[in-house]
Structure 1
Amino acid sequence: MYLADRSTPHGTTEAPDRLRGTVRAVSPTVLALGTVSLITDVSSEMVTAVLPLYLVMGLGLSPLGFGVLDGVQNGVSALVQLTGGHLADRVRNHKLVAGIGYGLSALCKPLLLVGHLGALGAALALDRTGKGLRTAPRDALISLSAPPDRQGRAFGVHRAMDTTGALLGPVLAFLILGVAAGGYDAVFAVSACVAALGVLVLVLFVPGGKRAPDRADGTPGLPAREAGTDRAGSEATKGRTAPGATKDRAAPEKTDLRAAFGLLRTRRLRVLFGCAVLLGLTTVSDAFLYLLVQRRTGVDEQLFPLLPLGTATVFLLLALPMGRLADRVGRRAVFLAGHAGLLLAYGLLLWAPTTPALPYLVLVLHGAFYAATDGVLPAAVAAVVPERLRASGIALVGTGQALARFCCSLAFGAAWAAWGDGPALAAAAAGLACCAVACGVALRPTPTPGVPR
């Protein structure tokens, strides 16, 4: 487990980690949110693991119908992110909005037991709505709970715990299917109970209210209103000001939609947003990538369900090291390196399909891609977005990236149907290479004091 650092007196320096043999602190808030995500992912991945078979074999839904349903629910999740991020900043209570999102995902699980396609569609829509609502406030809580030089580490710890749940969920689902008489209903019932447990952990162990999250050294945060105005207040006390000047200076700024979208006027965020969207437009979805691995390498169909577990295992092992590396060498560099690894995976699938080790190499590169991008991007966004709009900024970039990837999935599917899997993958690889070069130029670090790269 990750233990809290002891405070270091001013003017002293800490020994290097490799000499101490310990891991530096992460905030208790990050650990609590990681636990909530772990439990919630166990619940959601239990359903995800059996849902395709349940819909197609149990309810008679066509594969095309399932693809449309999956695409729509992912699109809903991406769009709702903006609502969740803006609402969290507007009410200044990230835990409340995140809790509503987790609660929606837990409440919809019993609808899966109805056994009707309409109820199932409603349950999936509510689940994706809950995911969209909670993502930005949760990531904002993580960023506000860590100092600027440890943002990557904090997100790495959270993503590692989150991925642990993604690994455990399918395993638990298949164990239940093997021993329970109720089959799918038993999986859905256990999933509902696990989701409720995640909400309970959030309520009990994640700091909330209108108080800022605790800092990584264990120091309690200021109340939200004070946290947003402590700098103005301290400046006002340096000299005499006219009556009312301190009050005007300390007044909280607006957090409406205009202010949220106005973040794009900031060059650093605009560049991050543009690069996330551009690279998302050339990022083939996981489902298509696994199908490509199976078709081009001859992986046995019975082993196909294990391919996502390979990606998740590598993601779990590399999430924290990649986060620490991003804090050390620059988040933009690690983010681009992750896409370079994905491009290498595309190239291997195109030009080395007969290599026996190819499936393993592709899964390692795919997992490393997620480890280098999934938590690193919000950490980079957090460094250039003010605290009062932290959730809105993260949601803005996350929504743009998700919608771009959704468009890529549609275009890649159409290209596969028209040209075949090889030409479609070659087009995606060429697009990703061009976009990566363009983003590498746009994301060149600038020597801005006090702003992590």
Structure 2
Amino acid sequence: MWSVNIMFNIVVLGIVSFLTDVSSEMVYPLIPIFLTVTLGASPAIVGVIEGIAESIASLLKVFSGYWGDKTKKKKELAIAGYGSSFLGKVVLIFAGSWGGVLISRVIDRLGKGIRTAPRDALIAESSKAEARGHAFGLHRAMDTFGAALGVVIAYFLLIGNINNFERIFLFSMIPAFLGVLALFFVRQPRELSAAKKKLSLSWSALDTRLKAFLILAFIFNLGNSSNQFLLLRASKLGASAPFVILLYLAYNITYGILSYPMGRLSDRIGRRRILVAGYFIYALVYLGFALVTHINTLWSLFIVYGFYIAFTEGVEKALLADIAPSHLRGTVIGLHATLVGLALLPASLFAGFLWDFLGASAPFYFGAGMGLVSAVGLFVILKE
């Protein structure tokens, strides 16, 4: 069982993510509609914006993870990152073109790049090895229920003001600011004050499974374009902005409900089984998005997509914390996030151009194929 101090840290970090995701998800599902309907951008422009924003931000993740390990100032880095995301919301309010949205997204994702690895390292260091899936699952659940609440708030703010996106962008700043304040209550785990070890990230010195997993994560994410394309797919099938928000809410509720039990289950039966199942679910969902012709079918697709995220996101981080050298956890978590993010630029660009030149189903067929290949690869590389 966890001590009171350990539980306090994990819960506070969960509250921070809860508030931040209330803010982020008030905005996120509206961005593709705002870009394509209000600003007249094409799906390819959506891909360019998301690919550039995610990839530039991801370059910071390995450096912020390394810097947190080196300086033992993970909390301070997390505060800077969450503060940057707040600033991104401010810029979005004044965005009058797709270039303004790009600047906003880059600032917001830079914040994510700065905070992600140090925050996840704090979670790993605040939990025992045998309960790491439990800790990350709880954090992901709180994060995702915040996302669900953000989607609900956006939905009600849209009623009667279908095109008043700026008002929602303005209200999103409030929980973002509160999330930054909550982070000041996090306590530095004892491990952070332990004797310093020489930091040297040598690829040859890493666990073989870890190296294989990092490579596979990069390959998988070449086919895993931004979630904006799922939302855009719904919009192009005739779903209104409020309906798209409700679909996104269904996804977040599923994700939130399952994240904690999947994390705990991975502690009991191993990370491999959960992750392989998650990758297979991803392949099936993307195949469904390629074939869908009616908006009512989207309900089941978005709900099952929540299964994929719940099976993989927190469990992947627990796996990384398990097999990374203890003094380089932040660095390895950041390296993984950087590789994933670097894949997002070509993935989102490719998805956008596939959509423009071969049709709306093309990027989802490609994603389904990559998901199936990656599920088989994951089964092999994590075999004991």
Which whole-Å deviations, capped at 9, do the CAs of 1:396-431 have from their partners, x for residues lacking one? 112212322442333333334444344554444333
Q: Does 1:359 align with 2:298?
A: yes
Contact residue 264 and residue 270 of structure 1 kept, 8 A: no
User: How many angstroms apart in 1 are the aligned matches of 2:15 and 2:69?
Assistant: 23
Segment of structure 1 superposing worse, 398-407 or 414-423: 414-423
Q: Using the TM superposition, give the Cα deviation of residue 325 of structure 1 relative to its aligned residue in structure 2, in angstroms.
A: 1.0
Contact residue 151 and residue 245 of structure 2 kept, 8 A: no
2:177 matched residue in structure 1: 196
2:332 matched residue in structure 1: 393
User: How many angstroms apart in 2 are the aligned matches of 1:365 and 1:110?
Assistant: 33
Identity of aligned residues (%): 34
Which whole-Å deviations, capped at 9, do the CAs of 1:101-131 have from their partners, x for residues lacking one? 1122223433344455566544332221111
Q: Does 1:161 align with 2:142?
A: yes
Contact residue 44 and residue 356 of structure 2 kept, 8 A: no
Structure 2: 5+ residue runs without aligned partners? Answer: none
Alignment match of 1:323 (pick from 249, 260, 263): 263
Contact residue 263 and residue 385 of structure 1 kept, 8 A: no
Which whole-Å deviations, capped at 9, do the CAs of 1:179-198 have from their partners, x for residues lacking one? 89x95454333322322211
1:307 alignment partner AA: L
Q: Using the TM superposition, give the Cα deviation of residue 338 of structure 1 relative to its aligned residue in structure 2, in angstroms.
A: 0.2
Alignment match of 1:334 (pick from 249, 265, 274): 274
2:68 matched residue in structure 1: 88
User: How many angstroms apart in 2 are the aligned matches of 1:329 and 1:432?
Assistant: 22
Contact residue 38 and residue 162 of structure 1 kept, 8 A: yes
Contact residue 18 and residue 143 of structure 2 kept, 8 A: yes
User: How many angstroms apart in 2 are the aligned matches of 1:268 and 1:67?
Assistant: 32
User: How many angstroms apart in 2 are the aligned matches of 1:160 and 1:166?
Assistant: 10
1:317 alignment partner AA: I
1:37 matched residue in structure 2: 17
Contact residue 94 and residue 138 of structure 1 kept, 8 A: yes
Alignment match of 2:316 (pick from 371, 374, 377): 377
1:46 matched residue in structure 2: 26
Q: TM-score, normalised by structure 2?
A: 0.87
Segment of structure 1 superposing worse, 138-147 or 77-86: 77-86
With CA pairs under 8 Å and 6+ residues apart, which has the higher RCO, 1 or 2?
Answer: 2
- Quick one: structure 1 residues 285 and 61, their matched pair in 2 at CA, closer, same or farther if it must change by over 3 Å? closer
- Quick one: structure 1 residues 281 and 110, their matched pair in 2 at CA, closer, same or farther if it must change by over 3 Å? closer
Q: Using the TM superposition, give the Cα deviation of residue 300 of structure 1 relative to its aligned residue in structure 2, in angstroms.
A: 4.0
Contact residue 49 and residue 173 of structure 1 kept, 8 A: no
CA RMSD of aligned residues (A): 3.1
Alignment match of 1:439 (pick from 373, 378, 383): 378
1:68 matched residue in structure 2: 48
1:233 matched residue in structure 2: none
Q: Secondary structure at the match of 1:283?
A: coil
Structure with bigger helix share is 2
Alignment of 1:417-428 (within 5 A): 417-422=356-361, 424-428=363-367
Alignment of 1:13-412 (within 5 A): 27-55=7-35, 64-117=44-97, 121-178=102-159, 183-203=164-184, 205-208=185-188, 213=189, 221-222=190-191, 224-226=192-194, 229=195, 252-255=196-199, 259-262=200-203, 265-292=206-233, 300-301=239-240, 303-349=243-289, 353=292, 358-412=297-351
Segment of structure 1 superposing worse, 157-166 or 269-278: 269-278
Segment of structure 1 superposing worse, 260-269 or 141-150: 260-269
User: How many angstroms apart in 1 are the aligned matches of 2:30 and 2:294?
Assistant: 31
1:389 alignment partner AA: L
Contact residue 147 and residue 252 of structure 2 kept, 8 A: yes
Contact residue 144 and residue 387 of structure 1 kept, 8 A: no
User: How many angstroms apart in 2 are the aligned matches of 1:127 and 1:142?
Assistant: 22
Contact residue 50 and residue 345 of structure 2 kept, 8 A: no
Aligned residues: 381
Q: TM-score, normalised by structure 1?
A: 0.75
Instruction: Please identify the structure whose Cα radius of gyration is greater.
Output: 1
User: How many angstroms apart in 1 are the aligned matches of 2:366 and 2:35?
Assistant: 32
